[in-house]
Amino acid sequence: MNKRVVVTGLGAVTAIGIGKDAFWKNLIKGRSGISKVSLFDTSRFKCHNGGEIKDFEPGEFIPKRAIRFYGRASQFAIAATKLALSDARLTLSELHGRQASVIIGTTMAESNVLDISCDSFLRNKWKEVTNNLLISIFSPSIPQNIGCFFGVKNTNVLLPNACGAGNFTIGYGFDLIRKGEADVVIAGGSEALSRVAYQGFNRLYAMSPTVCSPFDKNRKGMLLGEGAGILILESFESARRRKASVYAEILGYGMSCDAHPMTIPKKEGVKQAMEKAIKNSQLSLHEIDYISAHGTGTVANDKTESAAIKELFGTLTKNIPVSSIKSMLGHSMGAASSLEAIACCLALQQGIIPPTINFKTPDPECDIDCVPNKARKTKLTIALNNGFAFGGNNCCTIIKNLS
């Protein structure tokens, strides 16, 4: 259990860029990926915006004859995995020569396929729903499709832990490598915008009619997004043997469950997950240089997360920058905390903290340093990445710069 776990490859498919370089460039510029949703009709909803990926061409990553076999979330996941493997300079032959596993998180799985199926049924065109399309609805289809596409035959798991799922996959992969059950883990999350998800969050009155403005006093709610974030996790020994570049080291993670009503975040549960992540990483509170917030932009989440941070870190809070990239991407649910982990790796490497955009009015109940509107250059060593989900399924990861 003493193997070190490092990140050697990053793959991002997002509304502000495809590939880690485009993603990072636009992230630190504070570019918004929010636009009017065009994937489905939103005219009957009160909200119409989201972090939809407009420029994704699946044929750039998947043979055109095979695209029809994959739902949108699987297409994102395969694309992000391909980008991450290329970034890690890990060839398929090298991948097949190691114990490699696939651990993927999601909230809604292939819910856009459910949209297609319902539309076909309502138009009395049910024969359009092919066997292959129906099979792709099942939750395990996303990691299974990655496994089949890249020929990865070790552990293959889907973690449907909603909006904290990305962090849960990093924790699972961390354990597999530490225990010697895997040399390489393809870890991360994938989510596609769908009408059923959009309708659900509208019905919960959790959506903003305009922009997402985390920690702002006048915040109106979240905005849904989509995409995939994949990290290649390796044992330090494996990375060193193949002379791979290393972005960062995963030091540990912490989990908690609020055991509280599904949609109401609880300060004690959020605090416990952060505290356990720090303790399990054998760190002290003053060693945390940056917190990548869950930061959804809802009144309850931002207030609760801020209170938990202040209670845990006390007087240290004023010196710890806390930013939310959901202000730019929207909330990509199962992909959110894995994309935020990618942002943490790049922030540590580059010494730049991504901003929280759309911030105008400070909130006394969120009196943290949210890095408003403009990226900040600073030396960073250790980041805490927060991921919280409905049902109080909380998971935080600790990521360290090795340079």
**Marked catalytic residue, from 47, 212, 294, 366:** 294
**Marked catalytic residue, from 163, 212, 344, 396:** 163
**Marked catalytic residue, from 47, 212, 331, 370:** 331
* Rounded CA separation 317/304 (Å): 15
Is residue 331 annotated as part of the catalytic site, yes or no?
yes
Is residue 370 annotated as part of the catalytic site, yes or no?
no
Positions annotated as catalytic residues are 163, 294, 331
